[in-house]
Structure 1
């Protein structure tokens, strides 16, 4: 197939290399233009995907979409508010789009934007991937290190009935299994990172502020893991209100790192032993807080208000992080115009689809 990848940080180029390694033609576009500098001649991939792969660099969205059979949006959640309106304006109605990860109801927000712009009722589905098909780091402008190729990624869709179709598309592009999630909400709250990262930030804030080196898995101590498990229990109760399953933290770590299932702290210690010192953030402007709280934990609280559900531990963690970081961490423009009490119906049928 011909795939266009929107996003050129680390995951976008790595996913592009993975798709190209499977024989697909790939175009890549950077919202700022900076991410594609240096890869005009192709991308060198190391790690779990090895080789040099030809990628076509697109100067604009229209050029990226031209001739494509599918699209993948792979940008941080904080980029969605500015980027989704641009995509809604340019996305061809027949082109299926996968969002990875589909944080904070991004597929539903995009569907609402397209409906408001008069997109036809029979337009292609929007896929909601629970996480990215790869984990990666950009080593140089023309080189990316692919740390992990996922074995499985849960996939949902807007409208919900298209989940199997979008899962098959993701599997064809990237090779992973695509268990069907019942709605984009399941994909949107399945990622364990907001819980794990928020607690790590909270319990290691002085290390972050002092720019110290600290091993994040090594510091998932039993006490930190108890707080993570309390947050996970509240998230599971929220998911149950919407009738969607959600993986426990242990299963998420098992899928991502291949370590045997067990108590969370023991699994983290095993990851630290096998992968070495995976360092936590060393600056206050870290996505562990600036992305994972507004588009993760605070998003859960927004949903919970619509259901009349109390999430006291989540509320306390968000409040504590706001005090530590000295800023509002609940602002999420993706949710403007969406009704938390009525989101269940929209997840099934989308907006303006008949």
Structure 2
């Protein structure tokens, strides 16, 4: 299949390498045009680590070309770029053309649904609870893939496109997808923001001083307990909505292939195996600048609607905003554009089933 990936960071590169190795035909579009300059000259994309491959990848000159030549469109870039990319792609998306959001954040699927409804275009929007791969770009044509997840939560908007979305994801990426009960379940299934809150907040001086430090190795018992408490808040909110979500322990075990244990025990095992990775070496990190406004804030929003406040999540937003000297909530450009502040629980549940 011809799969156009809107984004050109580590996740987009990892997806492109996976798809090409699986016999599909990926195309990358960089919103800035900078990251793909070398690939646009005909250089190959090289992946190392969990994916070992050197592949050819097509490069789109603009968003219109990327969408026009695709069977499937994927959105794969940090959440603070989702609205911009959705705005760029929406005029060109065709009736019935699937869009996959990797990974879904801050009710972005609802925003895209509303943009398409204004054009009277209907299509399945497939939302993932997290990314297929983890890793880092190691050069303009290189990506190191640290992990390919064994299991990945998936849902669709509208909900009645679930079977179609599940089959599509399996065709592209193999038998690893777990169907969840709608987009609202996915909104409560991305564990990265809560985990990164615990990791970044309790290691913030390491980040600010630019140290090289083992991320998993520094998920000590105290950090692990904090992450588990954050997870308990998220799980309680999901229960109020009657939604089953994966626990943080299941997440670490399935994502990083370690035996089930406490959060700290599993991270220490990853560190012992040499797979702990390095934590951020700057406070200008997505762990804060992306995950606080686009990950923690929606969980706080759902906590208020459900009547089960996310006290630790909300405190994390306030603490980081104080440490950074600015209101990080204001960086979220999707929730204000949706205008669903004050929506009731039943109305939100219906919207997350049907879209606009």
- TM-score category of the 2 structures, normalised to the smaller one: over 0.9
* Residues 136 and 36 of structure 1, relative CA distance in 2, 3 Å threshold: same
Is 1:55 the counterpart of 2:57 in the alignment?
Answer: yes
Is 1:65 the counterpart of 2:67 in the alignment?
Answer: yes
Is 1:344 the counterpart of 2:349 in the alignment?
Answer: yes
What are the Cα deviations for residues 126-179 of structure 1, in whole angstroms up to 9, with x where unaligned?
A: 000111121222121112222222222111000012122112111111224111
d(CA) in 1 for partners of 2:276 and 2:27?
35
**Number of equivalenced pairs:** 348
Alignment partner, residue 36 of structure 1: 36
Alignment partner, residue 165 of structure 2: 166
1:30 to partner: Cα distance: 0.8
d(CA) in 2 for partners of 1:214 and 1:104?
30
Alignment partner, residue 303 of structure 1: 302
**What RMSD, in angstroms, separates the aligned Cα atoms of the two structures?**
1.5
1:305 to partner: Cα distance: 2.1
Secondary structure in 2 matching 1:23:
coil
| 1:153/1:176 contact within 8 Å kept | no
1:45 to partner: Cα distance: 2.0
| 1:26/1:55 contact within 8 Å kept | yes
Alignment partner, residue 106 of structure 2: 104
1:253 to partner: Cα distance: 0.5
Superposed counterparts of 1:260-299, under 5 Å? 260-276=259-275, 278-299=277-298
1:67 to partner: Cα distance: 3.2
1:276 to partner: Cα distance: 4.7
Instruction: Give TM-score scaled by structure 1 length.
Output: 0.94
* Residues 82 and 192 of structure 1, relative CA distance in 2, 3 Å threshold: same
Is 1:79 the counterpart of 2:81 in the alignment?
Answer: yes
What are the Cα deviations for residues 95-124 of structure 1, in whole angstroms up to 9, with x where unaligned?
A: 100000011111111111211x3223xx22
d(CA) in 2 for partners of 1:222 and 1:50?
34
d(CA) in 1 for partners of 2:244 and 2:148?
23
Structure 1: gaps (5+ residues): none
d(CA) in 2 for partners of 1:258 and 1:213?
24
More deviation in 330-339 or 197-206? 330-339
1:300 to partner: Cα distance: 0.7
d(CA) in 1 for partners of 2:310 and 2:59?
45
| 1:101/1:188 contact within 8 Å kept | no
* Residues 281 and 148 of structure 1, relative CA distance in 2, 3 Å threshold: same
More deviation in 264-273 or 300-309? 300-309
Alignment partner, residue 220 of structure 1: 219
What are the Cα deviations for residues 61-109 of structure 1, in whole angstroms up to 9, with x where unaligned?
A: 1111223211111010111132221222222223100000011111111
1:233 to partner: Cα distance: 0.7
1:285 to partner: Cα distance: 0.8
Secondary structure in 2 matching 1:33:
coil
Secondary structure in 2 matching 1:320:
helix
1:317 to partner: Cα distance: 2.0
Structure 2: gaps (5+ residues): none
1:347 to partner: Cα distance: 0.8
Which one of the candidate residues 85, 91, 94 is aligned to 2:93? Answer: 91
| 1:253/1:267 contact within 8 Å kept | yes
Is 1:157 the counterpart of 2:156 in the alignment?
Answer: yes
Secondary structure in 2 matching 1:89:
coil
